[in-house]
Structures are given as structure tokens and as C-alpha cells.
Amino acid sequence: MSAKKIINKLKRKEAPKYVDLHLHTTKSDGLLTPEELVKTAYKLKYKTIAITDHDTLEGISEGREAAEKYGIEVIPGSELTAYYYNHEIHILEYFIEPDDKHFLKYLNKFKNARFERAKEMVRLLNKIGIDIDFNEIIKKYDSAALGRPHIARELVEKGYASEMQEAFKNFLVPGKPAYVPKYLIGPREIIQLIRDCNGIPVFAHPYYYFNYEALLKKMVDMGLMGIEVYHTYHPPHLVKKLKSLAKKYNLLITGGSDAHSGPKGKYLPFGNIRLPQIIAKNLRKARKIT
């Protein structure tokens, strides 16, 4: 390789350029604060990230402020949960602003329901003799949108499970003693809500679902606009399949790590999904025509 080529390659390497559109912070169940997340994104050479906490937009303004400092971009987003015939479906939303009153009204409903649900999970655990304290948990996590990972971490910390996976498996999944579903709302209502607020609804990590293809078709009829093709847990053959489905239904292609921790965290690490700018560009373009 010529010297010029090497220099150009290094230059390209240095400039932040990557995209990750699925990231969690301490505002829901991630381990990095929005500021830490943005700083990490900058270090890992990301140019565009979306903060997509569960049921909250509270991390967006802090993320944006930090992003300005580092010269990178934060796309506002969130991850909502719908229920469909007893199955949980995650739907990502992009571009709804954190001061959107109509959307906030729903988020508050969901967040309050999460609080009550966490309380109920702890009550059910106490009932089977597990000694953890709800007040201690809420003190630790401040005003975060509480979820099963917070309870799982507490179970690990108090010695009731050796790791998060085990806590989930033994206590927190359907059929286990402390499983409590979230606020019950269907995908049609969620997709409608997102579109009413001028956001872009995207089917998150379809690999989670046994019958994702049928589900996708249903959600396309409900107004879905995109599909998360790239995700930490999507192997290459699935990416290929999802790409062809995106084409078939004329959907936007998105993707992200779904990181809940930093680059070295074992709980969905940040840095392994590095998408090109065209993904973010297409998303922005779609926003203008909705």
C-alpha cells in the first residue's frame, strides 16, 4: 500500500463515522449515564447514535448536550413494549421530541405502571422468602424507568443468583414466581401513537420472536415504517433474511447494539454494531415525508 493510501486510511479511521441506533442509559436499565454513553460513543468513533431508553425520553437532553461537546449527533428515540396474544413486542420510535405533550402523557402512564410492577415483583419475591427491599432499589436507581434488569441485579447483589441470566431464568420470566407483565397495550395503539406524534415506528430485534415474519406483516398493515435488521444477536443469515423482508414491505432498515453497558460490559456491550451513515440518512429522509 502506498504511503498516501495508508495516511488516507488512518484519517478515515480517526474520524467519527459509525451509527448505532439502539442504546440504553441509566434513565432506564442501562449502566451508563447519557453523558457517559455519548463520551463512549465518541471514543468508539461513532458519529450518530440514538438513545432509546425503555418508556422514557429523559436521557435525550443530557445526551444532546454532551453530543454537542463531542461534535457528534444524538437522534431522539425510545423503546416501547406492546403485547400481542401474550407475547411482548418491542417497538422502537425515532424523532419524537422530549417535550411532546401527547407522547409524554403516555410515557408517564407506562413509567408509573413500571414502578407499580417493580413493586409487585419485589412483593412476589418477598412472598417466597427472598429478602430484598423495594425502597432500597428505588433509592439506588433514582427516577429510572424500572424494569426486570434492576430487580435481577438486586437478586445478584444479594446472592440469590450468580448472574443476571440466572435471576431472569429462575424468577423473572413467564411462568416463574415473580414475572409480572407490563402495561397491556397492543402494537396497533403503539404504532398509531408514534405516528400521531410524528415519530418513526420500527420493529425491534425481530429475532426475539418465533413467528416474526407473520408479526411483521401484521405490523406493516398497522403502519410500521422500519425494521431493526442489525442487532447484537442477529447472525448474518438473519440479517440477510430481514433485509429481504425490508425490501418486500418497503421498510426502513435500522440497527443497533441494544447496549445496556459500556464496551466491555457483559450485558449487551456497546461497540459491536457499527453501521454506515446511510442508515441514519435514510431515517432522517423518511422523517421529512411523514
CA 177 to each of CA 34, 132, 234: distance values in angstroms, whole numbers, following the listed order: 33, 15, 30
Query: Which among 34-42, 157-165, 253-261, 279-287 is the span making contact with Fe ion, rule CB under 5 A?
Result: 253-261
Query: Would you count residue 53 as binding Zn ion (CB under 5 A)?
Result: no
- What's the start-to-end Cα distance of the chain, in Å? 46
Residue 211 interacts with which of Fe ion, Zn ion, ligand AMP, none, CB < 5 to 8 Å by class: none
Residue 165 interacts with which of Zn ion, ligand AMP, Fe ion, none, CB < 5 to 8 Å by class: ligand AMP
DSSP-derived secondary structure letter, 260:
S
CA 97 to each of CA 3, 104, 164: distance values in angstroms, whole numbers, following the listed order: 46, 10, 33
Q: Which is nearer to Zn ion, 51 or 251 (CB)?
A: 51
Residue 162 interacts with which of Zn ion, ligand AMP, Fe ion, none, CB < 5 to 8 Å by class: none
Q: Which is nearer to Fe ion, 134 or 187 (CB)?
A: 187
CB of 72 to Zn ion, least distance (A): 22
**Tally of CB atoms within 10 A around 52:** 31
Report the Cα 271 to chain-centroid distance in Å: 15
Bridge-based pairing of strands 252-256 and 73-84 is unpaired
Q: Which is nearer to ligand AMP, 73 or 154 (CB)?
A: 154
- The correct pick among 225, 227, 258, 273 for binding Fe ion (CB under 5 A) is 258
Tell me the one-letter amino acid at 288.
Answer: K
Q: Which residues bind Zn ion (CB under 5 A)?
A: 24, 29
